[in-house]
Structure 1
Amino acid sequence: MITASDDRAKAILQWLTNDLNLNITQFESASSDASFRRYFRVLHQQQHYIVMDAPPDKEDTAPFIKVAQLFSEAQVNVPDIIQQNNQQGFLLLEDFGSSCLLDQLNDSTVEILYKAALDSLITLQKNVDIHSCALPHYTSELLQTELLLFSDWFLNQQCKLTLSDAQQALIQTTYAFLIDSALQQTQVCVHRDYHSRNLMHLDNNNPGIIDFQDAVIGPITYDAVSLLRDCYISWSDAQIEQCLQPYYQQLKQANLVECDFNQFKRDFDLMGIQRHLKAIGIFSRLNIRDDKSAYLGDIPRTLNYVISISQGYPELKDFHAFLVDIVLPISKRVL
């Protein structure tokens, strides 16, 4: 007898068995993510499927459905949507299994797995027409809103840091510098969370791409830096450059970038700082607002990226000093 743990899960089971006439012989939690969505793995006639549970008052299934179609047409591997119940916020999806890139990455696999992931990324960037895809744009307002997550949730709430006027001015100047860098880059389709937990390891057509519903038109380095400077696993600068160089060459051949590699690397580095500041803010918000403290363990790695990369840019000298002298000692106490 299959049992459900709560009302939403019961409603999913009713939808699968009564409306879709499936014979469900297994029903278990597959994962939850940093949003209000949950995923269940179900078994019907020896075939596994995933059910997305997106409560309509908190999540909208429409962007997921739209982007799934867009990505599929762009010839990257996303799960097929088999059935949908948009009123209740349920989707029945193809199951990519439970092994993500993070589970498979080590020194001997990193090059081949990242090559496959970057090849998929190039395919996406080449095949999505940014003028007709009707995705929202990464505007300066959106980039600023994301950066403010770092100030509001990490500095103010997690670290209990009261900023002086000079510190606030420094942070605003830094944010403006990072936003300018992001907006002057080539704009392409951006997955926006392209990292080792959202890329599933498959036997063929690897990787399987998930969690793409927040896709936008934005800076060309955004997804590459999400992948190579991952909040959940870190690699040496030499390893990152080894992956980044051939990716840049492919972009150049596809006429997606015109700049030289040094400029591309600068764009990549500064984009990474923007993303990592946002991620630190989100990890703090997940802890404080959503009672998900597990993500706090990923802040030191992510903050370390910001500190080490900012050291290489004279424009970020004062911000780097602020992080090292003030933020780092506090973060070691509160994390």
Structure 2
Amino acid sequence: MYHPESNVSSSFIEPYLPILNAIPDSVQALVPEASSRKYYRLFFKEDTKILCTDPNFQGENSDFFLIQKLYKKENLPVPEIYSYSKDLKAYLISDSGELDLSFIKDKKKKDKYLKKSIDLILSIQKLPKEKPASSRSFDFTKLSFEVNMTFLKYEAFHIDYPDFPDVNIELRAFFENLCYILASFSEKVLCHRDYHSRNLLINKKEQLGIIDFQDTMLGTPFYDLSSLLYDAYNPLSHEEREEYYQY
């Protein structure tokens, strides 16, 4: 998600000039996500670009770069990589847009973009199973970790809202069994892993773009579709979900 948070002083950008090739007119910090990466929108006369600073950046061998090449090779709409510096722990990419899918209120437009998003899921699933994506999978361990993390978050919530039901043994057993079933699914495909409206951006030409794809991994064919249709940022009615299932 590339939404603005605040403007940044011009002095901030000075250390990163070696990878910019030009001095931006202004710099805008973007809303931080749940990671160590920070994003900034750079305003140039001709266009805007995105600067990412990442303390864990490992240059061209980073997951972001490797997965970007994989997606780009199959013509998926991901950002262009312009330049980077391993020493500066930063890289410069194209701006995929300020609006994400959750901002679209017009029903016809939203329908068009949701269907395009589903088409892109199918394209991701057809990608060749290459590393690093192919070396990680939603196996039982990974699925159990995700479920247990949800339980931990709920238990913290339950402290403040004790009127809500407890997580009982039966519910834990149900999810454990579900993890076994999903982990044993024979047809594993590549999944974006975080495929929701805030990672589907719309640029000034009204084209859809995919971001935050660096955690792509193997999973069931339903994973990304479920993430899209049960998106907390873009809630759909039961009837709307059924329509997109049929699509």
Deviations 1:232-283 (CA, angstroms, capped at 9, x unpaired): 121111111111112xxxxxxxxxxxxxxxxxxxxxxxxxxxxxxxxxxxxx
CA contact 1:116–1:206 (8 Å) conserved in 2? no
Matched, 1:91 2:91: yes
Change (3 A) 1:167 1:112: closer
3, 9, 34: which is aligned to 1:3?
9
Query: Structure 1 residue 88: deviation in Å?
Result: 3.0
Deviations 1:217-237 (CA, angstroms, capped at 9, x unpaired): 111101011111111121111
Change (3 A) 1:194 1:19: closer
Change (3 A) 1:177 1:80: same
Distance 1:121 1:105 in 2: 22
CA contact 1:77–1:205 (8 Å) conserved in 2? no
Distance 1:34 1:218 in 2: 22
Decide which moves more: 112-121 or 184-193. 184-193
Distance 1:73 1:106 in 2: 32
Decide which moves more: 232-241 or 216-225. 232-241
CA contact 1:70–1:133 (8 Å) conserved in 2? no
Query: Structure 1 residue 139: deviation in Å?
Result: 1.4
Q: 1:32-181 maps to which residues of 2 (within 5 A)?
A: 32-56=32-56, 62-126=62-126, 128-130=127-129, 132-135=130-133, 136-155=136-155, 157-160=156-159, 168-181=168-181
Change (3 A) 1:53 1:230: same
Distance 2:178 2:189 in 1: 18
Question: Which TM-score applies when normalising by structure 2?
Answer: 0.84
Change (3 A) 1:205 1:43: closer
Distance 1:245 1:79 in 2: 30
CA contact 1:16–1:22 (8 Å) conserved in 2? no
> What are structure 1's unaligned runs of at least 5 residues?
247-335
Distance 2:167 2:80 in 1: 48
Question: Paired residue for 1:228?
Answer: 229
CA contact 2:19–2:84 (8 Å) conserved in 1? no
- Give the alignment's Cα RMSD to 1 decimal: 2.5
Deviations 1:96-154 (CA, angstroms, capped at 9, x unpaired): 1201111114433332111111111111112x122x34411111101111111122222
Distance 2:48 2:20 in 1: 15
Query: Structure 1 residue 204: deviation in Å?
Result: 5.3
Distance 1:94 1:35 in 2: 20
CA contact 1:32–1:38 (8 Å) conserved in 2? yes
CA contact 2:20–2:92 (8 Å) conserved in 1? no
Query: Structure 1 residue 186: deviation in Å?
Result: 2.4
Aligned length: 231
Question: Paired residue for 1:280?
Answer: none
Q: Secondary structure at the match of 1:51?
A: strand
Question: Paired residue for 1:244?
Answer: 245
Change (3 A) 1:203 1:244: farther
Question: Paired residue for 1:206?
Answer: 207
Question: Paired residue for 1:187?
Answer: 188
Equivalent position amino acid for 1:242 in 2: E
Query: Structure 1 residue 71: deviation in Å?
Result: 1.1
Equivalent position amino acid for 2:84 in 1: Q
> What are structure 2's unaligned runs of at least 5 residues?
1-7
Question: Paired residue for 2:5?
Answer: none
Decide which moves more: 144-153 or 39-48. 39-48
Distance 2:100 2:167 in 1: 40
Which protein is richer in helix relative to its size?
1
Change (3 A) 1:18 1:180: closer
Deviations 1:64-86 (CA, angstroms, capped at 9, x unpaired): 11111111112210001111123
Equivalent position amino acid for 1:226 in 2: S
Question: Which TM-score applies when normalising by structure 1?
Answer: 0.63
Q: 1:284-303 maps to which residues of 2 (within 5 A)?
A: none
Change (3 A) 1:159 1:26: same
